[in-house]
Amino acid sequence: MNKDHSLGAVRPKLIRCATKDPGATIATETAPPFELLHADAHLLALNKPAGLLAVPGRGADKQDCLSARVQREFADALVVHRLDMATSGILLMARGVVAQQRLGAAFAMRSVHKRYEAVVDGLLMPPTGDHAPDGWDLIDLPLMADWPRRPLQQVDAAGKPSQTRWQVLAHDAQARTTRLRLEPVTGRTHQLRVHLQAIGHPILGDTLYAPPAVQARAPRLLLHACALQLPHPVTGEALALTCAAPF
């Protein structure tokens, strides 16, 4: 994870109704749209919008989600991982059980390299010194559930080891914000959000962990899954996906 991976750009396709052509754009009133970044016989990569569930929740009002929309189009699509409802960006789905098992194993073995982009409150200065020659630094704080306030998480010495790499992309001195590139080494619930709040730089628009003034600075959580690099689950070929942050 210390390497700055070269991640190739992928042109997104917008699917608006049932069609097996991932390049088609057809509008209907009955099929909610979703954005398809990559499709082959074994794997789908999608751009999940902020505010849409990745998988169904509890209750009739939480059944519309990205996975359900995709499964109307690709009946063999299966869930592999999730993004928070408030987070946007790249989400993978497997086509069939074999691909799902192989992708799940790749996530478990940390063979999937994930990268996010976020805008945080305050001016976070780049690290200096020999420990960060490439401009990356590490947040190494254990996390566990905040049981009285679930699903919130918290930093706790008794929690699970949790690590996030970060790199400054830009500062906005007037707005007093910092744009960051983030790489989660581990994959704990709300890890990026809790880690950034813990070091005093909560993500703008974070209704769970930011103070009210920081929540109000953006109409949504400014956190986006912008890149994934992984071996293809069947061919083993290196697959690099990118999706630019919409903020």
SS3 per-residue string spanning the chain? CCCCCCCCCCCCEEECCCCCCCCCCCCCCCCCCEEEEEECCCEEEEEECCCCECCCCCCHHHCCEHHHHHHHHCCCEEECCCCCCCCEEEEEEEECHHHHHHHHHHHHCCCCEEEEEEEEECCCCCCCCCCCCCCEEEEECCEEECHHHCCCEEECCCCECCEEEEEEEEEECCCCEEEEEEEECCCCCCHHHHHHHHCCCCECCCCCCCCHHHHCCCCCCCEEEEEEEEECCCCCCEEEEECCCCC
Q: What predicted TM-score, i.e. pTM, was given to this entire model? A: 0.87
Identify the weakest region by mean pLDDT among 50-59, 112-121, 204-213: 50-59
CB 70 within 8 A of CB 77: yes
Confidence of residue 28 (pLDDT cuts 50, 70, 90): very low
Confidence of residue 178 (pLDDT cuts 50, 70, 90): very high
Read off the pLDDT of residues 104-135 as tens digits, 9 standing for 90 and up. Answer: 999 999 999 999 999 999 999 998 877 777 89
Q: Are residues 94 and 123 in the same domain?
A: no
Q: How many domains does the chain have?
A: 2
Identify the weakest region by mean pLDDT among 2-6, 40-44, 60-64, 240-244: 2-6
> Is 4 domain-assigned?
no
Q: Are residues 102 and 194 in the same domain?
A: no
Tokens linked to 61: 């009002």
Is 84 noted as a catalytic residue in this protein?
A: yes
C-alpha distance across the termini of the chain, in Å? 25
Q: Are residues 74 and 23 in the same domain?
A: yes
**Catalytic pick from 4, 21, 61, 84?**
84
Residue 38 sits in a domain whose CATH number is 3.30.2350.10
Q: Are residues 88 and 128 in the same domain?
A: no
Range of the domain at 50: 13-112
> Is 201 domain-assigned?
yes
Read off the pLDDT of residues 59-118 as tens digits, 9 standing for 90 and up. Answer: 887 899 999 999 999 999 999 999 999 999 999 999 999 999 999 999 999 999 999 999
Q: Which residue has the higher pLDDT, 160 or 134?
A: 160
> Is 185 domain-assigned?
yes
CA distance 7 to 241: 6
On the question of pLDDT at 3 being above 50, the answer is: no
Q: Are residues 157 and 95 in the same domain?
A: no
Q: Are residues 121 and 27 in the same domain?
A: no
Identify the residue whose tokens are 């097996």: 20
Last residue of a domain, one of 65, 94, 112: 112
Last residue of a domain, one of 68, 88, 112: 112
Q: Are residues 141 and 197 in the same domain?
A: yes
Q: Which residue has the higher pLDDT, 33 or 4?
A: 33
Share of the chain above pLDDT 90, in %: 79
Taking Cα atoms as reference points, which of 194, 104, 99 lies closest to residue 146?
Answer: 194
Q: Are residues 153 and 197 in the same domain?
A: yes
Confidence of residue 30 (pLDDT cuts 50, 70, 90): low
CA distance 18 to 246: 26
| Over residues 22-45, mean pLDDT | 73
For residue 19, the model assigns a pLDDT of: 40
For residue 8, the model assigns a pLDDT of: 37
Q: Are residues 150 and 211 in the same domain?
A: yes
Q: Are residues 34 and 65 in the same domain?
A: yes
Q: Are residues 160 and 204 in the same domain?
A: yes
CA distance 49 to 69: 12
Q: Are residues 51 and 139 in the same domain?
A: no
